[in-house]
Amino acid sequence: MEHPAVIAHRGYAGVAPENTIQALTRAADRDETAMLEIDVQPAACGTPVVVHDERLEGTRDGRPLTDAAGLVWETP
């Protein structure tokens, strides 16, 4: 029996902020990762934004999308 395909949804959970280049790169570096998947939602102005939920309250793992100063997560 073949092993199921591993799809990295939003990147590598718990290692980097979801839906970031860092999260996707870390997931892609894993041998078992067969596919990467990100979420794109349209902003009110129509600009595509990489974010999982339609609302900007926070991430599924409880971390906010912004820090205390209101700055969006930045990747190196």
Q: What is the pLDDT of residues 41-62, one digit of tens each?
A: 887 788 888 877 666 665 666 6
Q: Are 53 and 25 in contact (CB under 8 A)?
A: no
User: What is the rounded CA–CA span in Å between residue 76 and residue 73?
Assistant: 10
10 phi and psi, to 5 degrees? 70, 15
Which pLDDT score is estimated for 17?
Answer: 83
Domain interval for residue 51: 1-76
The number of folded domains in the chain is 1
Q: What is the pTM of this model?
A: 0.61
